[in-house]
Amino acid sequence: MIEKLRGYYLMKYKICLLLIAVFIGNISLGQSGRVQQQPFKRPTAIQSTNMVFKDTNYNLKNDYTLAINELRNRIKIEPNNYELNVSLTELYIKTKQFDNAFEELIFLCNLSKQNKLDFETKEEINRLLEKTKRNAKYDADSNALYIDIALMSLIMDETENAEKYIILASQGAANNSILKKATDYILQNETNPQKVINLCNSIIAKNPNDIKIRKLKALNLVQTKNSDEAIEEYQNILTINPDDKDSKYYLYKLLTEKNYSQKDIIKKLYSKNTADTEKIYSELAEILYKNNNISEAKKYAAVLSEKFPQNETGHMILAEIYQKEGNLEASYEALTKLRDTADSSEAVAKYNVLMAKLSDKPVEQAKSLMSTGLYQQALDVLDSANQENLYVILTQVKAQYLLGNKQASMELLNKAMSLYPDNSDVYCSFGWVYLQEKDIDSARKYTDNSLKLNPENGNAKELLDMVNQAESDTYMNKIISYYESQNYSEAMRLIDEAISINNKDSALYFYKALTYIAQNNYAASTAALYKAVELDKNNATAYFYLGLAFDNLSEQKNALEYYTHYVNMLSADDYLETERKEYATARINQLNKH
């Protein structure tokens, strides 16, 4: 009761502060009474308030800081009440915080695309749009306001209006990063290629070196079948930035489609710098391969490999292409040339990586066989693979262990450790084997070492969760035993100790709640139950106890909600829940009568 009174008076204090801000800033507030409910979240007594601001001169330097902070806090409480975001946007515009207004408007634009804005919110945006239009021409920073008008127009599906104001903004804000972001956003939402081209032309006229806009124009020229104009635009881009590889690729593609000769293609791509054939062929092979134009990439890589045998790129690309084609023998030959001709540590490293890739296919086949329990067949496949490849060895480790050959498995692990002493995956495999042996301490030690070597190792992260679960499982029998013998203090001690090891185990929080309930501490049980269902949304019994806890706290509305959710989750033949189901059903009927 004391906490409720404290919360009540704190809310009154906040409302008083807001009313003072309203009085100072000539703000009028309107109540909407709409409460945004989120299913099965802890209920709150705070009601929704929609804030609507009357017209005032944009040049006033009123201090709206208190109102802005209050709005931000209310948005945290009511994240789905988007009219609050509109009101916050208006205050940002009023106080010339255009960067913040831009972020709010982008948020609202994304909601609009997802059809999440209701009629009332759109009406508020439309009101703000008309008001901002009227005031933009009087403001010292009209370019920023034009951007905001463009975004608001986009929310109201007024694309032409949005484009008009972006053009107006571009005339006075050539280097404005916000302008660039807003322009990109509006262009992404325009589906008519010719309109995009027209808008790009308007921006290019003011910003001729804007490569991003020129690329967008070129792509839309291709869509409208204006390939000659697209070729010219890509050449313009390469004049601005001769190293733009994306533009080189698309220009190459267009020129090829128009049957230009190889000589003319190279001339248009590289202008006067056509003498360095090795560099040109090397770059083209890389660009084409990156864009998955395999046949053309293979052509240039083959010329490189033959005419310039010291060039690493030709051998490397050929090796990868042959591997994708399934021609492992040709891939191995290209890799050998790469290794023998490479004169840099980087090239040798690339060779080692590509050699490892030769074993990818047999490893994948072996894993597929293991998933169906065919462990010996998996080993047979791996016998033909590169026996010094790390992932071949580690897959053999798992297959041997699952066949029951524990000694062979450990010998292979030690071999992997000797070849790759600082590899995260080797430590992870050691951890997996020890976990199978139920040696949790050793499993944790190797898993921790794996993550120290590579904090982003997904297999090690997954293994750590398994280790934590295994350790918390060892606590569970003792916890249940203490709970059933009504030694609640010892049960709670073990639960907290287990949670410190594994805070992702729903069962631990569930038994923590049951222990609180057994001691009639229903208020404390709710937090543990919320955590239990957060971790396991299918835990129907936890919803029953949420209903029971709120029932005993005389919060009938919440009790009814959770009892009902519990009953709806049960299947017809869930006999283990019969007694609880009957109790919940009876309470639902009684609560519905009140």
What is the model's pLDDT at position 204? 82
The CATH number of 520-594 is 1.25.40.10
Predicted confidence (pLDDT) at residue 188 exceeds the cutoff of 80: no
pLDDT, averaged across the chain: 80
Confidence tier at 44 by pLDDT (50, 70, 90): very low
Whether residue 542 is predicted with pLDDT greater than 70 in this model: the reply is yes
**pLDDT attached to residue 139:** 53
The whole-number average pLDDT for the span 160-170 is 79
CB-side neighbour CA atoms (13 Å) of 545: 28
Instruction: Convert the pLDDT of each residue in 404-427 to its tens digit.
Output: 999 999 999 999 999 888 889 999
Half-sphere exposure of 101 (CA within 13 A, CB side): 25
Q: Is residue 350's pLDDT more than 80?
A: no
Which residues, including other chains, have CB under 8 Å from residue 69's CB and lie 6 or more apart? none
Q: What is the mean pLDDT of residues 510-535?
A: 92
Q: What is the domain partition of the chain in residue ranges?
A: 1-190, 520-594
pLDDT band, very low/low/confident/very high, at 550 (cuts 50, 70, 90): very high
Asked whether the predicted pLDDT for residue 262 surpasses 50, the reply is yes
d(CA 289, CA 588): 66
pLDDT at 58 over 50: no
Residue 252 has pLDDT above 60, yes or no: yes
- 470: pLDDT strictly greater than 80: yes
**Alpha carbon distance 261, 258 (integer Å):** 9
Residue 548 is predicted with a pLDDT of 94
* Mean pLDDT confidence for 538-556: 92
Residue 501 has pLDDT above 90, yes or no: no
* pLDDT (0 to 100) of residue 63: 63
423 or 354: whose pLDDT is higher?
Answer: 423
Q: Say if residues 84 and 32 touch (Cβ distance below 8 Å).
A: no
- Encode pLDDT of 284-343 as tens digits: 989 998 888 898 999 999 988 888 888 888 888 898 888 778 776 787 788 778 777 766
Q: What is the pLDDT of residue 272?
A: 64
Nearest to 436 by CA among 488, 477, 401, 392: 401
Instruction: State the pLDDT at residue 43.
Output: 29
Query: Which residues does residue 51 pair with via DSSP β-bridges, in sequence order?
Result: 29
Return d(Cα 413, Cα 443) in angstroms, integer: 14
Residue 545 has pLDDT above 90, yes or no: yes
pLDDT at 176: 63
pLDDT of residue 61: 37
Q: What is the CA radius of gyration of the chain?
A: 34
Indicate the burial class of 575 (C-beta count within 10 angstroms; 0-12, 13-18, 19 or more).
exposed
Percent of the chain with pLDDT over 70: 83
Cα–Cα distance for residue pair 503/488, rounded to 1 Å: 20
Q: What is the pLDDT of residue 354?
A: 64
Q: How confident is the model at residue 64 (pLDDT cuts 50, 70, 90)?
A: confident
Alpha-carbon distances of 477 from 360, 435, 484, 494, 524, rounded to whole Å = 43, 19, 11, 11, 23
What is the per-residue pLDDT for 412?
93
pLDDT in tens, 65-117: 888 888 888 888 888 889 899 989 988 888 888 888 888 888 998 888 888 88
Flag whether pLDDT at 449 surpasses 90. yes
pTM recorded for the entire structure: 0.42
Give the model's pLDDT for residue 351: 66
* Mean of pLDDT values over 395-411: 93
Q: What average pLDDT does this structure show over 485-489?
A: 92
Q: Is pLDDT at 47 greater than 60 in this prediction? A: no
- Given this model, what pLDDT does residue 552 score? 93
Helices (H) and strands (E) in the chain, counts: 31, 2
Beta-ladder partners of 28: 52
Nearby residues of 458 by Cβ (< 8 Å), 6 or more positions away: none
Residue with tokens 């229903």: 522
